[in-house]
Amino acid sequence: MKRYLLFTLIVLLVGFLCLRTYKTRPGNAAVLYHQAIVELPPAEVWNEFVLGSVRIGGKPAPGTIAIIERYERPLELLQQAKNLPVCNWGVDLKNGPHQDFKFVTEAVKLARLALERARLRFAEGDIAEGLRDWEAGMMLARRLRGEPLVLFSLAGAKAEEIGIQKIAPFLPRFSPAELARLDEIIRSLPPTQDLATIIDTEYQLGYGWYESMLSTDRTELLRMLMERSLTREEFEKRIAILRQELADLKPAFARRYPEMLSQLNYPELSPATREFLPPLIRALGNVAKVDCEVAMLRAAAAVQAGRQDALTTIFDPLTGEPFEITRWNGGFRLYSQAKIDDKPIDWIFGNPIESEPANSTNL
Q: Are residues 148 and 273 in the same domain?
A: no
Mean pLDDT check: name the lowest of 146-155, 164-173, 209-218: 209-218
Q: Are residues 121 and 185 in the same domain?
A: yes
Q: Are residues 125 and 67 in the same domain?
A: yes
Q: How far apart are CA 13 and CA 20, in angstroms?
A: 11
Q: Domain boundary at 192, 212, 233, which?
A: 192
Instruction: Return the half-sphere exposure (C-beta side, CA atoms, 13 A cut-off) of residue 106.
Output: 17
pLDDT tens readout for residues 308-318: 888 899 999 99
CB 87 within 8 A of CB 143: yes
Q: How far apart are CA 351 and CA 347, in angstroms?
A: 11
Q: How far apart are CA 222 and CA 288, in angstroms?
A: 37
Mean pLDDT check: name the lowest of 1-10, 103-112, 320-329, 353-362: 353-362
Q: Are residues 167 and 274 in the same domain?
A: no
Tell whether 294 is covered by a domain. no
Q: Are residues 92 and 201 in the same domain?
A: no
Q: How confident is the model at residue 9 (pLDDT cuts 50, 70, 90)?
A: very low
Measured CA angle at 346 (ends 348, 113), to 5 deg: 65
Q: Domain boundary at 155, 172, 192, which?
A: 192
End-to-end CA distance of the chain: 84
Q: Are residues 110 and 52 in the same domain?
A: yes
Q: Are residues 166 and 257 in the same domain?
A: no
**In the predicted model, is pLDDT for residue 217 greater than 50?**
yes
Tell whether 357 is covered by a domain. no
Q: Are residues 79 and 166 in the same domain?
A: yes
Q: Are residues 143 and 63 in the same domain?
A: yes
Q: Are residues 205 and 188 in the same domain?
A: no
150-167 vs 127-144: helix crossing angle, rounded to 10: 160
Q: Are residues 130 and 69 in the same domain?
A: yes
Q: How far apart are CA 126 and CA 165, in angstroms?
A: 18
Report which secondary-structure segment, H or E, holds 349. Answer: strand 343-350
Q: Domain boundary at 223, 253, 284, which?
A: 284
CB 153 within 8 A of CB 284: yes
Measured CA angle at 31 (ends 25, 36), to 5 deg: 135
Q: How far apart are CA 233 and CA 146, in angstroms?
A: 36
Measured CA angle at 121 (ends 327, 103), to 5 deg: 100
Task: For 297-341, list the strands marked E by DSSP.
Answer: 324-328, 331-340
Share of the chain above pLDDT 70, in %: 86
CB 74 within 8 A of CB 22: no
Tell whether 352 is covered by a domain. no
Q: Are residues 55 and 175 in the same domain?
A: yes
pLDDT tens readout for residues 224-239: 777 777 777 888 888 8
- pTM for the predicted model, two decimal places: 0.86
pLDDT tens readout for residues 36-61: 999 999 999 999 888 888 765 677 88
Tell whether 175 is covered by a domain. yes
* β-sheet with 331-340: strand ranges across: 343-350, 331-340, 324-328, 360-361
Tell whether 83 is covered by a domain. yes
Tell whether 122 is covered by a domain. yes
Tell whether 89 is covered by a domain. yes
Average pLDDT over residues 325-337: 91
Q: Which domain holds residue 213?
A: 197-284
Tell whether 13 is covered by a domain. no
Q: Domain tally for the chain? A: 2
pLDDT tens readout for residues 262-317: 888 888 999 989 989 999 999 999 999 999 999 999 999 999 999 988 889 999 99
